[in-house]
Amino acid sequence: MKQTWIFHFAVAVIFLPLLSHSQVTSGSECPVAIMHFNPDVVNVRVKNLSAKTIAGLSFYAALSDATEHWKWLHWNLDEGRPLHEFGWNKLLKPNQAKTLSWNRADLDYEHGGGTAFVLTSVLFEDGSRWEEPAVGTSCKIIWHKGRHRVFATPVQLPPREP
């Protein structure tokens, strides 16, 4: 009996950290508040709402044309290429706010309708993750082009490609 208890304890000590290390949470609550977005220089102000230190973030952008059709941004605007990922890999402690910037990027296209900047993945320092489903956009900020104060139609982003 005592040996069985010791064996179960040893298994728990060895394998529980491995299970929590690969934990993935999908959708539901966004671990980050997106407070401000500037498409001219592509920077975004975020605040870590989680109780864990963030080690990495991945964002994607969707663009609206003048008639409010939304498309995901691909590398070099070439739909044959993968989606353009905006990644960030510096630590963001709990409750810390930071402005993230990507040099030489510009999402403010003349005569466009607007931009959606969507957080799709978060890696925490402990190895756990938060992932947005391909059809989800719970963690986003919308920017309206020029004189647009609101869109004429509800913002509905298409599913992201794998």
pLDDT for the residue 21:
36
Name the percent of the chain lying above pLDDT 90.
Answer: 45
pLDDT: which is higher, 136 or 64? 64
Token pair for 112: 């466009």
pTM: 0.78
Taking only the tens place, the pLDDT of each residue in 30-78 is 999 999 998 888 999 999 999 999 999 999 999 988 888 899 999 887 8
**What kind of fold does domain 26-144 have according to CATH?**
Immunoglobulin-like (2.60.40)
